[in-house]
A and B are shown apart, each in its own frame.
Chain A
Amino acid sequence: MNKLVKLFITSISAITLALVSFTSSFAKVEGDYIVLGSAISLTGKYSSNGVHTQNGYNMAVERINKMGGVEVQGKKYKFEIIYYDDESNPKRAAQLAERLIKQDGVHYMLGPYSSGLTKAIAPVTEKYKIPMVEANGASRSLFTKGYKYLFAVLSPANQYLEVAIDLAVEKNGGKGVRIAQAFEQDAFSQDVRLGILDAAKRTGSEIIIDDKLPKELNDMAATLAKVKATKPDVLVVSGHTKGALTAIRQISEMKVDVPMLAMTHCDAAKLSKQHGKKSEYALCASQWHKNLSYKDKFFGSGKKYDRDFKKEFGYAPPYQSAESSAALLVFKDAFERANSFDRDAVRDALKTTEMQTFYGNIKFGPGGQNTAKPMILFQVRCKGDECENKVVAPTKWASDKFYHPIPKWSERS
């Protein structure tokens, strides 16, 4: 009896194994479906942005499938995504990428949320020669490692606030400005810092305060006291949502008067909602805004995307969702141009991508970064207690005039 049971178990496991290996060898394209894989932060500290990313992916999958799918060699295919929760943990993300590729047989990947997690996954996709289109890893170091299978639809981190410095110089009559900056010590923020250093050099500006904020820090009083004492022309802050919220809270409490304040992550931090009028005049870097005039045939315009997304998920799409949706448009375009499911053919097609999406123009540079889309800046403006983000730069898309200098706290009601 015992022997029989053993034999039974062995044969069952043998069959399962055979089945698994059989299905996985076809998993890249199953029937009518092109299977993409993604490790995404559904729990842990990145979970809110992870969900924005996932919603962006899902929205695009549904839209593309509904509008005829992807046509390869005369046959129509649909997209399908296998998700795993990476718990906002880089190690876990790398394991899951490995699992997606080796066990699930995924041949095409979508990126996770954040630069840190993309950095953890990229070596894995590179090792197995899996093309990955990512939409949420902006760190410059992703694009200097010579990765051949990594493509990012977003602008790299060093471009985030360069425009702000140019704007300050322009307001200063073309002369260099005095910059105070505080950046968190993480890959992304430090890349933003490098961009500012470049811009300062280019414009002959001087950096008078250059603080690096420890990750655990949630108090910037010392930095702001220095800013008060030295009176710079521009204050630049980047430290994810925590940095943005802390900066506005303490600038308003300490009554720090500075003519221009430039930041990142304002919309992710829901700055205008959480701090209301205190956040007015803050200048924020963004990858995308619904008012931009880019168009495509799947989502129409940014405004239409905004409406559709709201209807589907019940909240206005942050740029993290928009860029994630764009990643799928890029994949569809590449599959159709490659007209094949061969990984290298798809990669080569991705490399020569040149298209417009509702999110912006997309063309990949030699490192895989998107070189065709500029960053935009918006400024928080309030009417009564209602605050809104208005695009002020670059001038081509500006819907409102850039308000400069910021009025002193003593003059603000």
Chain B
Amino acid sequence: MDFLIFKAPMLMVQASLDGILLGILFALIAYGMALQWGVMNIINIAQGDLVILGGYIAYTMYLAGIHPAWGVIVSPIIMYFVGWYLYKLVINKVVDRDLFISILATFGIAIVMQQLMNFIFGADVVVAQSEYGTTMLFDNSVTLPNSKIFSAFISVLYAVGLVIYMKKSRLGRAIRATAQNARAAKILGVDTEKVYAATFGINAALCGVAGALIAITLTLHPYVGLPYTVRSFMIVIVAGLGNLPAVAISGMGLGLFEEFADYILGTEFRIGAVFMLLVFILVYRRFKLSKKREYLK
């Protein structure tokens, strides 16, 4: 196999930009996951399905003749309430239980959501057209769809907005307090039940934004949620909880890694390579931790 990418430097630029732009979008989904994982200790298997539902909201608007980009405002609002009700309906019953129960519960939610979306929106693969055109660089040898640039920009906007909100607002502080120590927060008068519901709602809203962006950059189908869950899980595992810059870097890094794996190992190993990386990082972390323990002895 000859490595095309090393022969054509422009391909390198193209691959890097593609990887980074997509990585930013994945980082947004991962940030939502990290947030509610950190606060509620729940690994949300339905994360990807929330994303797809958000996408279908934008798609429905597109069908109604509204530009799908407005979905990045409408979709999170609707999804916040979806998340809030999901919390009240299911999640609040598993929030204090062990991780396994919550994985089972969210897995159940994922299946129900998939079937419902299939029932409502049909099993066809759909796309929403943004008609944003293309940016061409270096004499047409590097092309960037404006929809991807738009989606990266919106993702950054939402992520930064959320960070500021978490730092400054009352609810943000309550969420952070609950994440640090739920019991202490409760004693000090934080309504943790409300905080949990809001956190799950915020996560769903972030998924809604990402979904609307996916509707205009990629494709939608009721059953493609899981890859988004897996990707954001990986990003969070690599970055750790509650560390936004790390989530952003890890998201972009994974995007880049995937693109380059495609060129060097072949497209068929693209996703496999990401899994290998995950295994490697988990083993490495364990190794580092065990060293630390020895030192403490």
Chain A residues near B (Cβ < 8 Å): 43-49, 182, 185, 211-214, 216-219, 221-223, 225-226, 228-230, 240-242, 245-246, 249-250, 253-255, 269-270, 274-276
Contacts and interface: CB of A to CB of B under 8 A. Distances in A.
Given A47-B123, A212-B266, A274-B126, 13 more contacts: A43-B118, A44-B123, A44-B223, A45-B123, A214-B272, A221-B14, A222-B263, A228-B143, A230-B4, A245-B127, A246-B218, A255-B143, A274-B127
A48 B122 CA distance: 7
A255 B140 contact: yes
A245 B125 contact: yes
B118 A222 contact: no
A249 B14 CA distance: 17
A246 to B, nearest CB: 6
A218 B218 contact: yes
Contact of A43 (B11, B115, B262, B267): B115
B127 A275 contact: yes
A44 B4 CA distance: 40
A217 B262 CA distance: 12
Nearest to B17: A221
A222 B145 contact: no
B127 A249 contact: yes
A216 B224 contact: yes
B270 interface: yes
A222 B15 contact: yes
A249 B125 CA distance: 13
Contacts of A217: 267, 270-271
B261 to A, nearest CB: 9
A44 to B, nearest CB: 7
A230 to B, nearest CB: 7
Contacts of A226: 4, 11, 263
Contacts of A44: 118, 123, 223
B127 A45 contact: no
29 contacts: A43-B115, A43-B118, A43-B119, A44-B118, A45-B118, A46-B123, A48-B123, A214-B267, A214-B270, A216-B271, A217-B271, A221-B14, A222-B15, A222-B270, A223-B267, A225-B15, A226-B4, A226-B11, A228-B141, A228-B143, A242-B125, A242-B224, A245-B219, A246-B218, A250-B145, A253-B143, A254-B143, A255-B140, A270-B124
A275 B223 CA distance: 21
A182 B267 contact: yes
A229 B22 contact: no
Contacts of B268: 185, 211-214
B136 interface: yes
Shortest beta-carbon contacts, A-B, top 3? A253-B145, A212-B268, A222-B262
Nearest to A223: B267
A229 B11 contact: yes
B147 A253 contact: yes
B176 interface: no
Nearest to B221: A242
Nearest to A50: B123
B222 interface: yes
B267 A254 contact: no
A376 B266 CA distance: 32
B10 interface: yes
B223 A45 contact: yes
B267 A253 contact: no
Nearest to B268: A212
Contact of A222 (B8, B127, B136, B267): B267
A400 B224 CA distance: 37
B123 to A, nearest CB: 4
B227 interface: yes
Contacts of A242: 125, 219, 221, 224
Contacts of B136: 255
B134 interface: yes
Given A45-B123, A254-B145, A269-B125, A222 B224 contact: no
A237 to B, nearest CB: 12
B263 A253 contact: no
B18 interface: yes
B49 interface: no
